[in-house]
């Protein structure tokens, strides 16, 4: 796939929607969203997060998918194709590659935790254990360099294997199976949670907008997460958009994507906090929230072990479909830039990211004292990408789209019949609203550090 004519494409449009939803829905929705909401006081944070998705995330999502579809190129060459060869805008592409690299480095390690807990539930160890023991499992895992690296290896291996098979036969097919399954399971869990005593408290926690609890730091986390959860600012949506053909409106697809992603986060939040409150726990437990609290729910359910197995399998799928899109950003670039086969590109990029992931895994034990800016490798990659490189990438993508490409691109994005008002809103969102919001938060983030 070295030339535009030989370039791979989605088999169907629904295939694109599923793959893009697969990218968006991931650990960010099921693991990260609940715990950052818990840490930032609940409802007020959720409201700011929803505003960020709508006014910052959605316009940038539209812009990214459009850029890819229009250029039919990878994240770096897109800017050269749509602007001019050697254009300085290609730096945005480099930034995207860097983000993809760093995110997948730590993402794959968390994917490994999911593998660990999945296996614990298959063997029945999870459902048979006492609460204290379950809590201990996570600490045990963090203390074991061998296990962390082993699961990370497995997770990265699966990612590489799928991406190496290609856009339609690998990525599209994998998403077609995993995504519908994930949704069905989440709905079942939600129904089960509704019968638990903490359900009302969970709803109140997530949806009562208590502005007293709102902090600038919370707003910063919210906008960073809007980028993370929609896979924005680093070229994943751009790369997936580049496998689209035809002049269809992108607007409806992008809106659908944002709605699916947000709905999954809120549902996961309700499920997790229902358990938290049903067991009288604190919502601000941080990263271990999902790996300690969800197993408690499973133990309460009839057939809980089966549900636990299915749940961790599906969280694994959610994580895997996102990891695939991260690797694809690098693979699309490497194969098109250097003329490598997809297989070679997937193996090389995968190996390099794998090594970064090993450092992340070891930052929980052997390398725990290695810190930069007071953060371990794992925390540094997580913070640097969601607070800095993704927002910055998104800001520049919005400016490129709004100012360099302008109204014509907007009209093509929205499609026909074109509503003048919608076009103006999108144009000025990308020209001013999203860049200003992101710039303010980037500055606040640096000052905050």
Under rule CB under 6 A, residue 20 binds ligand PHE: no
CB of 27: closest distance to ligand PHE in angstroms? Answer: 4
Measured CA to CA in angstroms, residue 145 lies from 138, 302, 414 at distances of 13, 35, 50
Contact code string over 227-246 relative to ligand PHE, x by CB under 6 A: -xx-x--x-x----------
Under rule CB under 6 A, residue 23 binds ligand PHE: yes
Ordered DSSP codes for 172-224: IHHHHHHHHHHHHHHHHHHHHHHTSTTHHHHHHHHH---GGG--HHHHHHHHH
Under rule CB under 6 A, residue 159 binds ligand PHE: no
CB of 33: closest distance to ligand PHE in angstroms? Answer: 8
Helix or strand holding residue 146 (H, E)? helix 145-164
CB of 159: closest distance to ligand PHE in angstroms? Answer: 11
CB of 57: closest distance to ligand PHE in angstroms? Answer: 11
φ, ψ of residue 180 in degrees (nearest 5): -60, -40
Size of the site for ligand PHE (CB under 6 A): 15
Q: How far is it, in rounded angstroms, from Cα 445 to Cα 121?
A: 39
Region label for 85, one of left (φ > 0), alpha (ψ between -120 and 50) or beta (otherwise)? beta
Measured CA to CA in angstroms, residue 3 lies from 132, 237, 253, 344 at distances of 57, 20, 27, 17
In the bound complex, which residue of the shown chain has the CB atom lying closest to ligand PHE? Answer: 28
Among 92, 103, 272, 309, binds ligand PHE (CB under 6 A): 103
Identify whether the C-beta of residue 357 lies closer than 8 Å to the C-beta of residue 104: yes
Q: How far is it, in rounded angstroms, from Cα 137 to Cα 133?
A: 6
Identify whether the C-beta of residue 55 lies closer than 8 Å to the C-beta of residue 437: yes
Q: Which stretch binds ligand PHE (CB under 6 A): 4-12, 51-59, 82-90, 223-231?
A: 223-231
CB of 261: closest distance to ligand PHE in angstroms? Answer: 7
Q: Which stretch binds ligand PHE (CB under 6 A): 156-164, 205-213, 322-330, 348-356?
A: 322-330
Closest CB to ligand PHE among residues 196, 331: 331
Among 262, 325, 363, 376, binds ligand PHE (CB under 6 A): 325
Under rule CB under 6 A, residue 101 binds ligand PHE: no
Under rule CB under 6 A, residue 326 binds ligand PHE: yes
Contact code string over 51-90 relative to ligand PHE, x by CB under 6 A: ----------------------------------------
CB of 23: closest distance to ligand PHE in angstroms? Answer: 5
CB of 229: closest distance to ligand PHE in angstroms? Answer: 4
Among candidate residues 126, 114, 122, the one with its CA nearest the CA of residue 299: 126
Identify whether the C-beta of residue 294 lies closer than 8 Å to the C-beta of residue 272: yes
Identify whether the C-beta of residue 396 lies closer than 8 Å to the C-beta of residue 60: no
**Chain length of the chain:** 449
Q: How far is it, in rounded angstroms, from Cα 153 to Cα 438?
A: 35
CB of 385: closest distance to ligand PHE in angstroms? Answer: 8
Among 22, 29, 357, 442, binds ligand PHE (CB under 6 A): 29
Residues at the contact surface with ligand PHE, assessed by CB under 6 A: 23-24, 26-29, 103, 228-229, 231, 234, 236, 322, 325-326
């Amino acid at each position: 796939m070295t030339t535009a004519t030989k370039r791979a494409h989605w088999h169907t449009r629904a295939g694109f929607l599923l793959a893009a939803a697969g990218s968006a829905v991931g650990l960010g929705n099921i693991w990260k969203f609940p715990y950052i909401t818990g840490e930032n006081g609940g409802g007020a944070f959720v409201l700011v997060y929803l505003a960020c998705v709508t006014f910052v995330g959605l316009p940038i999502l539209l812009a990214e998918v459009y850029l890819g579809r229009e250029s039919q190129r990878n994240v770096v060459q897109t800017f050269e194709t749509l602007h001019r060869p050697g254009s300085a805008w290609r730096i945005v592409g480099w930034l995207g590659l860097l983000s993809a690299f760093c995110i997948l480095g730590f993402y794959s390690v968390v994917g490994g935790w999911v593998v660990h807990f999945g296996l614990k539930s298959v063997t029945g160890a999870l459902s048979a254990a006492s609460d204290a023991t379950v809590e201990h499992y996570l600490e045990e895992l963090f203390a074991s360099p061998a296990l962390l690296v082993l699961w990370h290896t497995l997770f990265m291996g699966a990612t590489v294997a799928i991406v190496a098979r290609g856009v339609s036969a690998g990525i599209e097919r994998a998403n077609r199976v995993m995504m519908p399954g994930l949704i069905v399971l989440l709905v079942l869990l939600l129904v089960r949670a509704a019968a638990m005593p903490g359900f009302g408290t969970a709803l109140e926690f997530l949806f009562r907008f208590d502005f007293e609890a709102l902090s600038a730091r919370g707003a910063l986390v919210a906008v960073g997460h809007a980028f993370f959860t929609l896979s924005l600012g680093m070229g994943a949506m751009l790369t997936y958009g580049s496998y689209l053909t035809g002049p269809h409106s992108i607007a409806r697809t992008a809106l659908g994507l944002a709605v699916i992603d947000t709905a999954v986060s809120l549902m996961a939040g309700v499920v997790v906090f229902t358990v938290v409150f049903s067991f009288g726990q604190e919502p601000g437990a941080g990263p271990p929230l999902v790996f300690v609290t969800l197993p408690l729910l499973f133990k309460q359910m009839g057939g809980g072990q089966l549900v636990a197995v299915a749940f961790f399998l599906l969280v694994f799928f959610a994580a895997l479909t996102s990891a695939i899109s991260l690797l694809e950003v690098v693979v699309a670039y490497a194969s098109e830039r250097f003329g490598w086969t997809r297989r070679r590109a997937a193996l090389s990029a995968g190996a390099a990211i794998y090594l970064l992931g090993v450092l992340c895994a070891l930052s929980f034990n052997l390398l725990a004292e290695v810190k930069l800016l007071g953060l371990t490798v794992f925390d540094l990659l997580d913070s640097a990408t969601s607070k800095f490189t993704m927002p910055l990438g998104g800001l520049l993508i919005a400016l490129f789209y709004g100012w360099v490409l302008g109204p014509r691109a907007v009209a093509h994005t929205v499609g026909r019949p074109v509503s003048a008002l919608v076009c103006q809103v999108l144009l000025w969102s990308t020209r001013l609203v999203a860049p200003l919001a992101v710039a303010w938060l980037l500055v606040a983030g640096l000052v905050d550090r």
